[in-house]
Amino acid sequence: MTPAFELEVETATTHHTNSANNGANDNQIGFKSRVSVIGSGSWGSVAAKLVAFNTLNLSSFHDELKMWVFEETLQSGKKLTDAINRTNENVKYLPGIKLGKNVIADPDLDNAVKGANMLVFVTPHQFIDNICKSLVGKVRSDAEAISLIKGMEVKIEGPCLISTYISEQLGINCSVLMGANLASDIAEEKFSEATVGYGNNREIAEQWVQLFTTPYFMVTPVQDVEGVELCGTLKNVVAIAAGFVDGLDMGNNTKAAIIRFGLREMREFCKLLFSSVKDDTFFESCGVADVITTCFGGRNRKVAEAFAKNGGKRSFDELEAEMLQGQKLQGVPTAREVYEVLRHRGLLVVSSVCNSARDL
């Protein structure tokens, strides 16, 4: 669909938009980064809204922002992609929120990332394997990626962070962005903050900070990819426990204890996997702030509360389908993954808690 705005005239050569692996002219005067968002759920749409504001207003970025959409047919019979491009809203996952006139929804993954040198991954972690396999050889060799995905891949040889998986599959560097980020609040431009976790390149981290920062969304860089990413992953397990507390009507004191125990065990688990994880990371937005907001709001707590109120008689899969309208829980598969990591290392404590995690 033709975008609703007039594309800027590009004075620089455009060969990099026609070749996935060619970035030779990127250092020329006037080079502008081209950004693509891979994912379009509620959080993906909010991420696109944040990024689109800056690509439109900062001279270092191309105006146009492609957002890859997993195509769906709405109840009206219309395609989700067409609806987004017509209304400038994600009518299914973020209704009533304008994404930005420069956001172009695209159901073709290859076309959505074509020419982009900054890739924002924001899909349920269950889908990242197929997405990466589809993108092998399709992205620029000089591209930078950032993952907003909560979760990890558990393999026979051990756990693999999503950022590591993206890097290994696509041969590009991948940072992470995590934080106390309930999508609905940010969509309504209520003040929030986040943490960018990066490796050795501070300059790249600052580019991501620039891309995401708005008057209502503050971003701080931290040189601790593993710590930032694991905080964003593990907090969803704690949120499941907090939902159980709510469903069983055990009160705020119990929930506070769950949050404290959960944060402590998050730290221990992170250090178990990566000794380089910094204690200070747990006091950033990706740490304690994210645990708090996720345990009082968010889909994982909400569905876990319903699970407890039903006495466990309705499965998480059933409740997810009924309550989330196509969105995915992260806490349940992450609990399984944590269980498998601990079992593989012989660190399970035999208890009803462990059995519950196994049976989720």
Numbered residues of the known binding site: 39-44, 70, 127, 150, 183, 299-300, 328, 330
Contacts of 270 (CB under 8 A, 6+ apart): 226, 227, 230, 231, 234, 277
Contact 186, 192 (CB under 8 A): yes
Contacts of 271 (CB under 8 A, 6+ apart): 277
Rounded Cα gap, residues 174 and 220, in angstroms: 17
Q: Residues annotated as binding site for substrate?
A: 150, 299-300
> Which one of the listed residues 92, 235, 255, 302 is annotated catalytic?
235
235 is catalytic: yes
Strands 35-38 and 118-121: parallel
Sheet holding 118-121, edge to edge: 103-106, 65-68, 35-38, 118-121, 144-147, 173-178, 192-197, 217-222
Alpha helices in 30-75 (DSSP H): 42-57
- SS3 of residue 125 by DSSP: helix
Rounded Cα gap, residues 173 and 305, in angstroms: 38
Please tell me the total number of residues recorded for the chain in this structure: 360
Which residues in 324-353 are b (16+ Cβ under 10 Å) and which e? beebbbbbbbbbbbbbbbbeeeeebeeeee
What the block records as the tokens of 63 is 């105006």
CB 302: neighbour CB atoms within 10 A?
18
Q: Which residues of the chain form beta strands (DSSP E)?
A: 35-38, 65-68, 103-106, 118-121, 144-147, 152-155, 158-161, 173-178, 192-197, 217-222
Q: Residues annotated as binding site for NAD(+)?
A: 39-44, 70, 127, 183, 299, 328, 330
What the block records as the tokens of 4 is 């609703």
Rounded Cα gap, residues 123 and 39, in angstroms: 5
Catalytic positions are 235
